[in-house]
Amino acid sequence: MVLEHLTRLDHRLFLKSQGHRHWQRRARLARWVSRTGDGPPYALLGLLLWSSGQPALQGYVQQALQAFAWELPCYLLLKQLFRRRRPAVALPQARVFITPADTFSFPSGHTAAAFVLLTLLWLQAGFLALWLLPWALLVGWSRVWLGVHFPGDIIAGIALGASAALLAGT
């Protein structure tokens, strides 16, 4: 019963986000924000930080690799365990702005990856990491705007990414 209530709430929040009169304009911006959370920018960032030769930055890259070694298998396992249908399949009135890379929506991998980086930065730099928080949140919310995730998928991605980073950072 609790799960059904949460699912209904998730559906309502998703549809409310799509009901905004500026949804299409937001979706265009969301596509760009979402791309900053794709894999290649992370790889490029890692190479740049590693090539700096600075031990602190290289340590950050090592921790990120460890965190992603936790996050990615957990992400794939959760996708298969929950097998949550994407909004366009679960809700006939849902609009989608991009084609998702896979079938299931729970959890959001883009959000998990963004929160891996944010949490690791928080562990190393403390409050300095707050400048990255708006970006990480926007990456997650962009996935809702694009019509490929429910808000609950984003929350799960936050928990997964932060947990993986905490495991790697301690």
pLDDT for 107: 96
pLDDT for 168: 93
- Per-residue pLDDT 10s for the chain (170 aa) are 777 888 898 888 898 888 777 777 777 889 999 999 999 999 999 999 999 999 999 999 999 999 999 999 999 999 999 999 999 998 988 888 888 888 999 999 999 999 999 999 999 888 888 899 999 999 999 999 999 999 999 999 999 999 999 999 77
Domain ranges of the chain: 2-169
Which one is the CATH code of 2-169: 3.40.50.1860, 3.40.50.1000, 1.10.1060.10, 1.20.144.10? Answer: 1.20.144.10
Which entry of 5, 20, 22, 110 is annotated as an active-site residue? 110
Catalytic: 149?
Answer: yes
Which entry of 5, 11, 22, 149 is annotated as an active-site residue? 149
The β-bridge partners of 104 are 85
List, as one string, the DSSP characters of 93-117.
Answer: T---SS--SSSB-SS-HHHHHHHHH
Catalytic: 110?
Answer: yes
